[in-house]
Amino acid sequence: MILEKTLSRPSARLFAVNALLLALVATWPVNAATVAPENARADQYGSGWQCKRGFEKENNGCVPFDIPANAYLSASGMSWFCNRGFLKVGGACRTVEVPPHAYADEGGAERGWTCSRGYRRVDGACAQVIVPQNAYALDTTYGLGWECSRGYRTDKGACVPVQVPENGFLTQSGDDWKCDRGYAKVDGACASVTVPANGFLDSSGKGWKCERGFQRGEAACLALQVPANGYLDYSGNDWRCENGFRKNGAVCNANE
């Protein structure tokens, strides 16, 4: 009777339920995946674990990285890199064979060496960059290693002047030219764009369009003949029929 009265109290019932749950939990099997093995720590983003710096997962444990000679552990602690002057080949660090006029770069590079300034890579070696007249050297070990000065263009390993015609100008790159507005390229020259009556230069400045109410012909702007029950379209250079009519040649016929 006393036990029944005690369990009838809310606090006593809650205590009894908690005790039962704890007893059940104590009998559950332990999940090995949630228990951090040696040289591991709990995963801060989940319920699992991850290996400490310098170790990697193998099966259900953490084994140390096999770092070869002339290598060092990365900043993340999850991989390794070769020292300067060595190149990663498989699981080892091979000494870099640095050709003349080059220097060893970081071990993660493709070859482990870079040509000195004034030289460029050619067939596994460093060839001297010969800068032609009217050019300047580039701070790169790829390509030609030089670039023509403004107003010149590359031609068969040399820099030849860009011939800018009358009414033309050098492009921003400096190795080509364009015509001024109102002129167009024709056979290496800048020819004036002939704008017919009732026309105007287009946005490019190299061609022309007709004013609203005119239609472009071969070399002229022809007045549009808008028939009865027709109207100029949004472009202003053609016409359409009103609702209830359809276009038939040069007239608008009523829909049947």
Band (pLDDT 50/70/90 cuts) for residue 35 is confident
**pLDDT recorded at residue 180:** 97
d(CA 187, CA 167): 14
Cβ–Cβ under 8 Å, residues 68 and 91: yes
pLDDT tens column, 187-211: 999 999 999 999 999 999 999 999 9
d(CA 160, CA 40): 67
Q: Does the structure show a pLDDT above 50 at 30? A: no
d(CA 159, CA 180): 25
Band (pLDDT 50/70/90 cuts) for residue 166 is very high
Q: Does the structure show a pLDDT above 90 at 87? A: no
Q: Which residue has the tokens 């039962």?
A: 20
**pLDDT recorded at residue 3:** 45
